[in-house]
A and B are shown apart, each in its own frame.
With several copies, the nearest count.
Chain A
Amino acid sequence: MEFALSEEQEILSESVSKMIESVCDVDIIRNHSGGDKELRNILKDQFVEMGLPGLLIPEEYGGSGLGVLEASLVAEQIGKYVAPVLWVANSVMVPISLLDKGSSDLAEKWLPQIAKGEVSACIAINEVVGSREDTGLKIDNGKISGTSIFALDGEHDPRIIVTVVDNNFYLVDTKEEDVEISEIPTIDSTRPVSEVIFNSCKAEEISGGKEIIDKVIDAGRVVLAADMLGTSDSMLKKAVEYSLERKQFNRVIGSFQAVKHMCAEMAAELEPCRALVWYSAYAQDSIPEESRLAACHAKAHLSEVAHNLARIATQVHGGMGFTDLLGLHYWFKRIGLARQILGGPERVRKEAAEIQGFGV
């Protein structure tokens, strides 16, 4: 029994961190938000070069056959640099959905291409988590029609889109079918989300049932929690650094007890989140009976902690934190979006209670 990262996992984190840092700084992020999509492509290529897209894909399909824990470590680094790169859907949720039955024709056909980065995969299941008016999908003898919003990893015109209708996972090949994908503008320019319109598209059934749908959503939630962990961690570090540079009243502001305690409170809230994220990720791989509850708590708790931390860290930066000059707001906004997708905290806590049979 060991509650710690293995050496391999440490190395994975560090190398991903170095790689992203080498291509991605705040000015580049600013350009990206300004519409220059070069960074997206560079990161995509870098990820492929490191073999990351296939992280969860079994070796027989050309992947590394690792788990949600490793996927979360990567997500933490992505969040740390607010890197606009395919991950939660393309490399986590879609592969898990395709692997439900072990091997299958669909798995054999698509997973190798995803692993190689030859195709990108998008997931459009927002309506399962909480459906809004004028959205939703229906299936009519094998053909899906309707609109799904807040689809994830839809930015590299994905070859395949995985979605859920009537409690079943379906796969749509965008090369063969009439699918319209358009980006939905949100506060967070570093995590593109899409509207996907299916115009009576032939859909191949992957697998079905609440269990696999939960499993895919849980993995997504854990990975988003890990992303928020990285984003928050880096906001805290920035706040401390800034407080040790900025002087007012002839002192660095980091020497004022009020600022010290703001930072201490952020650290006290954030530190246990790392263990929570590790545990929930590990649970997805190895503790099936706890995986659902752990995933809900990771998503809900990180959403609250990160949300609060983003506000405090910005305040520590004073006026500069509010301007665009430091780009701190990219971190702030990435947390703002991650908090809401795949279920906001109040809703996810409700699920956490239901999982334990409370109030049902």
Chain B
Amino acid sequence: MDLNPGPEYIKFRKEVKSFLSKNNHMSSRASDSAYTADKESNWQEKLIKNGYAARTIPKEYGGFGAEPDVLKSRIIAEEFTESQTPLGMANQGISMLVPTLLELGTEEQKKSWIEKTIKGEIIWCQGYSEPGSGSDLASLQTKGVDDGDDFIINGQKIWTSTAQFADMMFCLVRTEPDAPKHKGISYILIDMKTPGIDVRPLMTMTGHAEFNEVFFTDVRVSKTNIVGNRGEGWYVANATLKHERGMLGDPNQAATRLKEIVNLMNVETINGEKLINNPVHLDRLMRLQGRVLSMSYNSLRSLTASHKGLDVKMGKLIVKLNGCQLNHDLAGFAIDLLGELGTIYGLSNHDHDSGKWQWRYMFDLGLIIGGGTAQIQKNIISEIGLGMPREPKPMLEEKK
């Protein structure tokens, strides 16, 4: 254990600070009033150039090409959060496809996709889940029929966020109908402008359409767009899911929320008394802080491990389950603190939080369910983490 930055890192933090003070007026995020796509991509380019985005992506693929360094990444995250500067683009292409291509893509695929993706020139969406295949993803039915150099794809995907403005989709398609369910799937990159693709927004409980349904009717895609080998898409996808699981339940988000809640408790009053002075609320706040700190330190531990090429298996397996629940509970606490005012969801002069906590409370519930439900997570933790047996196949399946 040595959390002392050491001279190199003190220097590095100075660099980040000065970069931010010089440049963060150029930063851009969709929520800004003055947002433009150009501003955003310029900002992204600047971040990459300075190693604040795509930091560890090799130079030849347009990244900054730095060695992974836990503390530097942490310093960057801290300073950007501190100065409330957007830390570049975040989308499933960058977080999931790029790591997958680096791990399993052909040189040509890496060359053609990674740079454009990290620069935001290409936006990706993920085509995994189907209405009939959620927890049992491997049962997916979207079919790709072999037609010479191409596949003809028919079927339906769901939960594809950003599909409405995505250029490309990384998609799981059943290309080998006769193979066992895990061995009949290919991981295919699909141009969203291909004829036969129909994107329909999917309204959720939040009242917004954070996701879409995507329908495929005779969509023709070249076989060269397969990542990994044909029929091995399941294993390629799991490489991606591994990265997604790492992303869902990020403790930094929980830490930020906790800060917001403390601020809220310092300003909100009921019957003239500040919420921060209510001992029952404080006890609940401390319980949550204990969970937040544990998860933050747990992620530091995982980062150090991966930095050393080691693996804290259990430490990673639990992040999605714990992190999403924690974020959800934090939102629930904030709503309770706001009381009636916490239920306001829409324009009102009595609104204190622009419905932020309610949206999070509901959307987090979606995250607890999505990307592997809590029940699937517990199966994985018990089977992979604790070596317990898989659910025995029921006899009724025999009867099929």
The answer to A–B direct touch (Cβ < 8 A) is yes
Residue of B139, B368, B391 with most chain A CB atoms under a 10 A cut-off: B391
| A4–B382 touching, CB < 8 Å | no
Contacts of A340 in B (CB 8 A): 335-336, 339-340, 342-343
Answer whether residue A288 sits at the interface, using C-beta atoms and an 8 A cutoff. Answer: no
Cβ of A32: which chain B residues have Cβ within 8 Å of it? Answer: none
B29 at the binding interface (Cβ < 8 Å): no
B291: chain A residues within 8 A (beta carbon): 272, 301
Contact status B373-A315, CB under 8 Å: yes
Residue of B9, B282, B343 touching A358 (CB-CB under 8 A): B282
Q: Bound complex: CA of A69 vs CA of B328, how far in Å? A: 33
For residue B370, which residues in chain A have a CB less than 8 angstroms away from its CB? 319, 322
On whether the beta carbons of A268 and B396 are closer than 8 Å, the reply is no
Interface residues of A in 249-280 (CB under 8 A from B): 249-261, 263-265, 267-268, 271-276, 278-279
The answer on a CB contact under 8 Å between A341 and B340 is yes
A292-322 vs B, CB cutoff 8 Å, 1 = contact: the mask equals: 0010010011001001000100110011011
* A130 lies within 8 A of chain B by Cβ: yes
Smallest CB gap from A248: residue in B: B136
CA distance A341 to B344 in the complex (A): 12
Considering the complex, which residues of chain A in the window 341-360 have a beta carbon less than 8 Å from any beta carbon of chain B?
Answer: 341, 344-347, 349-350, 352-353, 358-359
Could you count the A-B residue pairs with CB atoms below 8 Å apart for me: how many are there? 291
Query: How close is A164's CB to chain B, nearest CB, in angstroms?
Result: 14
Given contacts A4-B308, A249-B136, A251-B394, whether A275 and B343 have CB atoms under 8 Å apart is no
Chain B residues whose C-beta falls within 8 Å of the C-beta of A325 in the assembled complex: 203
Q: Specify the main secondary structure of chain A where it touches its partner.
A: helix
Chain A residues in 8 Å Cβ range of B165: none
- B24 contacts across to A, CB distance below 8 A: none
Cβ contacts A to B, 20 pairs, < 8 Å: A2-B1, A3-B300, A131-B271, A150-B340, A251-B394, A254-B389, A260-B383, A261-B379, A268-B321, A268-B381, A272-B298, A275-B294, A276-B290, A279-B293, A319-B158, A319-B366, A324-B203, A346-B278, A350-B283, A352-B290
Known: A135-B350, A323-B204. 8 other contacts (CB 8 A): A130-B271, A264-B381, A273-B294, A275-B294, A301-B293, A315-B365, A319-B159, A323-B203
Q: Chain B residues near A275: list those with CB within 8 A.
A: 294, 297-298, 300-301, 315
Question: Is A143 close to B, CB under 8 A?
Answer: no
Q: Which residues of A contact B (CB under 8 A)?
A: 1-6, 9, 69, 126, 130-135, 149-150, 184-188, 193, 195, 240, 243-244, 247-261, 263-265, 267-268, 271-276, 278-279, 282, 286-287, 294, 297, 300-301, 304, 307, 311, 314-315, 318-319, 321-325, 328-329, 332-333, 336-337, 340-341, 344-347, 349-350, 352-353, 358-359
Contact partners of A244 in chain B: CB under 8 A:
388-389
Of the candidates B2, B308, B322, B383, the one whose C-beta lies within 8 Å of that of A272 is: B322
Chain B contact residues: over half helix, strand or loop, or mixed? helix
Report the bound CA distance from A261 to B336 in whole Å. Answer: 27
B344 closest partner in A (C-beta): A186
Whether A195 and B350, one on each chain, are in contact in the complex, defined by CB atoms closer than 8 angstroms, is: yes
Answer whether A353 and B314 are a contact pair too, CB < 8 Å, given A1-B6, A282-B1, A287-B3.
no
Do A261 and B318 contact each other (CB < 8 Å), given the known contacts A2-B2, A185-B345, A272-B297?
no
B375 within 8 Å of A by Cβ? yes
Chain B contact residues, CB within 8 Å of chain A:
1-6, 9, 70-71, 129, 132-136, 139, 158-159, 202-205, 207, 262, 265, 269-272, 276-283, 285-287, 289-291, 293-295, 297-298, 300-301, 303-305, 308, 314-315, 318, 321-322, 328, 332, 335-336, 339-348, 350, 355, 358, 362, 365-366, 368-370, 373-375, 377-379, 381-383, 385-389, 391-392, 394, 396-397, 400
List A contacts of B378 (CB < 8 A). Answer: 258, 260-261, 264-265, 268
Other-chain residue from A69, A186, A319, A332 in contact with B129 (beta carbon distance below 8 A): A319
Please judge, given known A-B contacts A248-B134, A251-B392, whether A319 and B203 are in contact too, CB under 8 Å.
no
Q: Given A187-B345, A358-B262, does the pair A272, B285 have CB atoms closer than 8 Å?
A: no
Which among A263, A267, A282 has the greatest number of chain B C-beta atoms within 10 A?
A: A267
A276 contacts B297, C-beta separation under 8 Å: yes
Q: Which residue of A lies closest to B375 (CB)?
A: A258
Task: Tell me the nearest residue of chain B to A265, going by C-beta.
Answer: B378
Going nearest first, the 9 A-B pairs with the smallest beta carbon separation are A185-B346, A329-B205, A275-B297, A272-B294, A301-B290, A1-B71, A260-B382, A349-B286, A264-B378
Q: Which residue of B lies closest to A259 (CB)?
A: B375
Instruction: Point out the residue from B300, B318, B350 that lies within 8 Å of A149, measured CB to CB.
Output: B350
Q: Are B373 and A4 in contact (CB under 8 A)?
A: no
Q: Which residue of B lies closest to A149 (CB)?
A: B350
Looking at B272, B278, B303, B348, which has the most chain A CB atoms within 10 Å of its CB? Answer: B348
Q: Which of A240, A265, A287, A346 has the most chain B CB atoms inside 10 A of its CB?
A: A346
Known: A1-B4, A276-B294. A318 touches B336 (CB 8 A): no
